[in-house]
Amino acid sequence: MKHPAQAQIALFAGGDLGRWERWRMARHVAHCAECRQEVRALRDSAIDLRQLGSAVAEFPNGLNWNRLADEMTGNIRVGLAAGEAIALFDKPLRMRPRLLGWNAALVVLGAAVIFGVAFWTSLPPQQAEHLLASLQRIRIERIGVFLHSASAAAGADPEDVILEASSSSIQVRENGRAMSLIPHSDGATVSVSMHGSAGVRFVDADTGQVTTNKVYYAEQ
Amino acid sequence: MRSSSALFASVLFLIPCNGVVFAAALPRIDLPPDSPVVLLSANYGESNEMPRGSAMLLDVHAALSLRNSSQRKIRGITLLVTAQAVTPGGKGSVTVTSLDVGPQETFPVRIDLRLLRPLQASSGVPVEISLDGVLFDDLSFYGPDKLSSRRTLTLSEWEARRDRRYFKSVLASSGQDGLRQEMLESLTHQADRPSLDVEVVRGARATNFEPEKQVQFAFLSLPDSPVEPMGGMARIAGDEARAPRLEVKNRSDRAIRYLEVGWILHDRSGREFLAGSVPAELNLAPGQKRQILGDATLKFPKLGGQPLGIEGMTGFVSSVEFADGTLWIPTRADLDAPQLQRVVAPSDEEQRLAQIYRKKGMKALIVELNKF
């Protein structure tokens, strides 16, 4: 059971609550032995205090006890109101969660998963493999190209440069573009080295000399 | 005024960049003062530069006339051609081997290369042509050797000596008919040798979607080889072969500082191709084993419209350099092994001699063989 605050109990005990609050507190106290005990103790204390006040000589004669009680009650009310106002000011506004939006999203997601699983299991194995390969291709070619261009903007990656030795030329390929570096004719001997060079050897028709033209990666 | 400037700017913007050809600044030839070769003349022909996308494509054509200013015969020379040192494709070389240029004799060197330079790099900066190395007939070397020209030129010279010796012995033992037969076989071999388009990608990462498998190397045993391949494998995925890993053992009594392993691929239909070579600079003491790694991916585009399904690989030791600078190359008998004969290209010298025979006939060939 949730108990009211001590201040509310004290106001109730002194008969200082409004009509609506007093009714609520009365209902609670009627069912709650602990709060009832607290109210009784507060009222007994107030009676004791009054009796003590009448017996003390130092209190001025003719003191208007009712007026003093009203002032104290007023001060308490002002204090409570100020506390509530400050508490409201400091407390962040609590947004009620949009349960309906999340629920709708979960329903759609669940439906999509069920549809996907049903679609995948109904596909013949060959088509499923083909679809998977296509998806992987899209992932690597499309997203990979995006990542690649981002990295290229940051700085050229030497691993993405391809040296290609074909029967007609040696080319360097970068970012999908190919540039022919050493075009050559049939009969030339093409060689590549894993150190990152490619060369073409041929016998020069004019001079009869054996000439080897090579291109290199930068770091060699 | 403002509107006419805007119109001019718009017209400039509409001019397609790729169509603009600029005359390149003349290449700058940089030979050291103590160079054993002297530049006599240079003709730069139709060298030009052209923007292509984000790069500048430089067509470098040069016909140089050089003179041997040393006291020894020149056997080979390598010139380094640099458009931009840090751009892939920005650096090239021209090597001329099987030369026989005596002191004070002149010889031509033709340069026909295309190089790349970033578009941001200032246009008009000359392409630099410099000397990387000269090999003499006593196997001494001159030059900065930035491109390992000493090794390349010396290997070529060793192969040239081996093949000249062989053809001289054929002439001596079997006469002109025997030599003619050898030349015809060589020309046929050069024409029939299977070639394969190869793409080299730095790094050993996958670029396709095929499932990957590890394939073991088979090795051709060359009896005299100072290096014994112990085992090896490469990762094969569809038409890609990457990250070859080989274990080799030095079975000679000398330390080895460089070796090269030729890499033959077999496809599903039983065809064989020389894919490339796996070079390794290492320090291999006698009896020591070492693993060598190739950090690149070789990709083989479709052959005749059909994807190349790699089924197997064979490796063979194609050259070894000892710590003392001497070399080992396969003998003619080694190269007569059917598998090697099918795929390995003839040496520079054999190719040159076969061309002399084809163009000038047997008499000219015999004169050439008797020169040295």
Q: pLDDT tens digit string along A106-130?
A: 899 999 999 888 888 777 665 666 5
**By the 8 A CB rule, do B333 and B263 touch?**
no
Compute the distance between CA of residue A53 and CA of residue B190 in angstroms, rounded to an integer.
Answer: 129
Residue A207, token pair as written in the block:
């001079």
* pLDDT at residue B31 in the model: 92
User: What single string gives the DSSP state of each residue in B180-235?
Assistant: HHHHHHHHHHHHH-----EEEEESS---S-SPPEEEEEEE---TT-SEEEEEEEEE
| Closest residue to A204, CB basis, from B110, B115, B301 | B110
**By the 8 A CB rule, do B64 and A207 touch?**
no
ipTM of the complex: 0.83
* pLDDT at residue A156 in the model: 37
Compute the distance between CA of residue B81 and CA of residue B97 in angstroms, rounded to an integer.
Answer: 17
Whether this prediction's pTM lies above 0.90 is answered by: no
**By the 8 A CB rule, do B364 and B356 touch?**
yes
Residue B123, token pair as written in the block:
């246009």
Residues of B in contact with A208 (CB under 8 A): 352, 355-356, 359
pLDDT for A45-65, tens place per residue? Answer: 888 877 776 665 556 666 677
Question: Is it the case that residue A141 has pLDDT exceeding 70?
Answer: no
Query: How far apart are the CA of A114 and the nearest CA of chain B, in angstroms?
Result: 28
| Closest residue to B91, CB basis, from A173, A189, A218 | A218
Residue B342, token pair as written in the block:
């099918």
* pLDDT at residue B10 in the model: 45
Segment (H or E) for B154: helix B149-192
Hey, what amino acid is at A41? A
Say whether B92 and A179 touch across the interface (CB within 8 A).
Answer: no
Residues of B in contact with A170 (CB under 8 A): none
Chain A residues 134-193 with CB within 8 Å of chain B: 136-137, 140, 158-159, 161-167, 172-175, 177, 179-183, 187, 189-193
The residues pairing with B313 across neighbouring beta strands, listed in sequence order, are B217, B265
Is A168 a member of any domain? yes
Place of tokens 């903007």: A153
Question: Is it the case that residue A150 has pLDDT exceeding 50?
Answer: no
Domains of chain B with bracketed CATH: 20-142 (2.60.40), 156-193+351-371 (no CATH), 199-344 (2.60.40)
Interface contact B94, partner A, CB < 8 A: yes
Compute the distance between CA of residue B79 and CA of residue B69 in angstroms, rounded to an integer.
Answer: 17
Residue A64, token pair as written in the block:
């208007």
Is A127 a member of any domain? no
Task: Give the strand pairing for B256-267 and B272-284.
Answer: antiparallel
Kindly report the length of chain B.
372
Say whether B88 and A158 touch across the interface (CB within 8 A).
Answer: yes
Query: Does residue B115 or residue A132 have the better pLDDT?
Result: B115
Neighbours of A42 (CB within 10 A): 17
Neighbours of A185 (CB within 10 A): 11
Structural domain tally of chain A?
A: 2
The DSSP letter of residue A188 is: P
**Sign of the CA dihedral with B192 first, then A162, A168, and B77 last:** negative
| Closest residue to A211, CB basis, from B94, B299, B345 | B94
Neighbours of B330 (CB within 10 A): 23
Point out the domain boundary residue: A40, A58, A90.
A90
Is A133 a member of any domain? no
* pLDDT at residue B94 in the model: 94
Structural domain including A204 reads: 159-216
Residue B99 C-alpha from the chain's centroid: 17
Residue B282, C-beta contacts closer than 8 angstroms, at least 6 positions apart: B256, B257, B258, B259, B290, B292
Compute the distance between CA of residue B127 and CA of residue B81 in angstroms, rounded to an integer.
Answer: 7
Residue B44, token pair as written in the block:
């730069």
Mean pLDDT, residues A169-182 taken together = 64
Say whether B200 and A164 touch across the interface (CB within 8 A).
Answer: yes
pLDDT for A27-41, tens place per residue? Answer: 999 999 989 998 898
Compute the distance between CA of residue B210 and CA of residue A130 in angstroms, rounded to an integer.
Answer: 13
The residues pairing with B113 across neighbouring beta strands, listed in sequence order, are B60
Rounded to the nearest 5 degrees, what angle is found at the Cα of B365, between the Cα atoms of B361 and B366? Answer: 120
Q: Among residues of chain A, what percentage have pLDDT more than 70?
A: 57
Interface contact A133, partner B, CB < 8 A: yes
| Closest residue to A159, CB basis, from B96, B202, B301 | B202
Compute the distance between CA of residue B28 and CA of residue B50 in angstroms, rounded to an integer.
Answer: 19
User: What values do phi and psi take at A7, rounded to 5?
Assistant: -65, -40
* pLDDT at residue B22 in the model: 47
**Chain pair A-B, CB pairs under 8 angstroms:** 165
Q: What is the overall mean pLDDT for chain A?
A: 71
Interface contact B298, partner A, CB < 8 A: yes
| Closest residue to A159, CB basis, from B115, B201, B244 | B201
**By the 8 A CB rule, do A191 and A215 touch?**
no
Interface contact B194, partner A, CB < 8 A: no
Per-residue model confidence as pLDDT tens for chain B (372 residues): 444 444 444 444 434 443 344 455 578 898 999 999 999 999 887 777 777 776 778 888 889 999 999 999 999 999 999 888 777 778 889 999 999 999 999 999 999 888 888 776 655 678 889 999 999 999 999 999 999 899 999 999 999 999 999 999 999 999 999 999 999 999 998 888 777 677 777 655 555 556 778 888 889 888 889 999 999 888 888 778 878 889 999 999 999 999 999 888 888 777 888 877 888 888 999 999 999 887 777 777 665 666 667 788 889 999 999 999 899 999 999 988 888 888 888 899 999 999 999 999 999 999 999 988
The 8 Å CB, 24+ separation contacts for B193-196 are B193/B342, B193/B343, B193/B345, B194/B271, B194/B272, B194/B273, B194/B342, B194/B343, B195/A167, B195/A190, B195/B273, B196/B265, B196/B273, B196/B274, B196/B275, B196/B300, B196/B303, B196/B308
* pLDDT at residue B21 in the model: 43
Is A147 a member of any domain? no
Point out the domain boundary residue: A32, A56, A90.
A90
* pLDDT at residue B151 in the model: 93
Point out the domain boundary residue: A55, A74, A90.
A90
pLDDT for A63-110, tens place per residue? Answer: 677 777 777 877 877 777 777 777 666 555 555 555 567 788 889 999
User: What values do phi and psi take at A3, rounded to 5?
Assistant: -90, 145
Residue A21, token pair as written in the block:
């609050």
Compute the distance between CA of residue B124 and CA of residue B48 in angstroms, rounded to an integer.
Answer: 10
Give the CA distances from residue A72 to residues A58, A78, B244, B283, in Å, rounded to whole numbers and listed in that order: 20, 10, 94, 99
Say whether A218 and B90 touch across the interface (CB within 8 A).
Answer: yes
